[in-house]
Amino acid sequence: MPKPAEDADKEVRGHVLIVAGSEEMPGAALLAAVAALRAGAGKLTIAAPACVAQGLALAIPESRVIGLPQARSGGLLIRGSESLGATAPQVSAVVIGPGMQGERAIVAFVCALMPMFGHATVVLDALAMSVVRRSALNQPVVLTPHAGEMAYLSGKSKEAVCADPAGTAREAAMRWGACVALKGGSTVIASPGEELWKFDGGSAGLATSGSGDTLAGLMGGLAARGLPPLAACAWGVVAHAGAGAALSRLHGPLGYLARELAVELPAQLHALSTRRSAH
């Protein structure tokens, strides 16, 4: 984990852009954005449909919020990507997808947006991952599917994915040239040419609405701080599970909220970093 000096300013910890939300699910953008800041990213910009932009700006006063034009289907219009071009040189990580609606519009928007951020790590979540069904990935990308999403993206049955998550994740990573975090009771992380990682420390309480949005934002925040895709995934998965475990001790194994996970993240990341340094 990169450790900035005591006198380092926010620029050192990176700038993360969250492209997320819709009229029906503005909270997904909020969850991802707060998690990115709790991960230690120094600066935050949110790009969301104009109809929810002001609400997000008020809910997260630490952020810059850019309102984007929206199609009738609920997806973002391609021309909206042009308004993000000016931010591209400063951004070190991008999270795209939480809470977005309208798959066709999203894929077109992502295809237009990604070349502007070829220098940054891009975390694709939810419907934004559908871009792999249309075009090749030519930059550092993280994909965060659960078994159902992986089945849709890969063309396999959900049963086949669940029967061999390690093989499925490895095959997907090679096929798409991306770091793939296949989420589940056990989470498998695969990246082309890298060792396969498996984490068995998840819990049932993490399977709650908005939890994946928080994880995507957490990974984006860690990538903004300078971690490469595989490391951002691994740290993110473990810290996310640790936050769930901490809430389980307070409230019981079920019933805590995704919005509460982010509050636990700084302590989890600090504990993990300290433990690693001690070894």
DSSP track, 237-248: HHHHHHHHHHHH
**For residue 68, which amino acid is it?**
L
pLDDT score, position 42: 92
What is the structure's pLDDT at 276?
59
Q: Which residue has the tokens 């389980």?
A: 248
pLDDT of residue 278: 53
Check residue 4 and give its pLDDT.
72
Can you give the residue ranges of every domain in the chain? Answer: 13-272
**Within its chain, how far is the Cα of 242 from the centroid?**
17
CA proximity to 137, closest of 170, 107, 104, 98 = 107
The predicted structure's pLDDT at residue 18 = 98
User: CA–CA separation, 175 vs 163, rounded Å?
Assistant: 19
State residue 75's pLDDT score: 82
- Residue matched to tokens 């399977």: 207
166-184 burial by CB neighbour count: b if 16+ within 10 A, else e? eebbbebbeebebbbbbbb
pLDDT, position 9: 65
For residues 256 and 247, give the distance between their C-alpha atoms in angstroms, rounded to a whole number. Answer: 7
Cβ contact 239:276 at 8 Å: no
Q: What's the pLDDT score for residue 104?
A: 92
Q: What is the mean pLDDT of each run of 10 residues along the chain (279 residues)?
A: 72 92 96 98 96 96 95 85 91 97 93 94 97 87 97 97 97 96 95 94 92 98 96 97 96 95 96 71
The helix/strand/coil state of 146 is: strand
CATH class, range 13-272: alpha beta
Angle of the 229-251 helix axis to the 258-278 helix axis, nearest 10: 120
Please give the pLDDT value at position 7: 67
pTM: 0.94
